[in-house]
Amino acid sequence: MSRSKLKIALAGLALGLAAHPETLRACATCYGQSDSPMAEGMTWGILSLLVVVTSVLGGIVSFFVYIAKRSSTDKVP
């Protein structure tokens, strides 16, 4: 796809989004209803993903700490 066709496609996309602004509205938290069930669900979703990412990264770090300790204590005869 050439640059001019890409520019025309992007301009058409921007025009289409500007013609239908209801599709660009923010979520319940950003839009001002912070006490809605959607906002509470989003908060729990963020917290659960944070727990998953932290546990995976903790597992990776603990593995490398284990490998480092084991390699420093092994003595080659």
At 27-72, the pLDDT tens digits run 655 666 677 787 788 889 999 999 999 999 999 999 999 999 988 8
Do you know the residue count of the chain?
Answer: 77
Structure tokens belonging to residue 71: 């390699």
Residue with the two structure tokens 């809605």: 36
At 2-30, the pLDDT tens digits run 888 888 888 988 888 777 766 556 665 56
Residue 3 to residue 14: CA distance in whole angstroms = 16
CB 42, CB 29: distance < 8 Å: yes
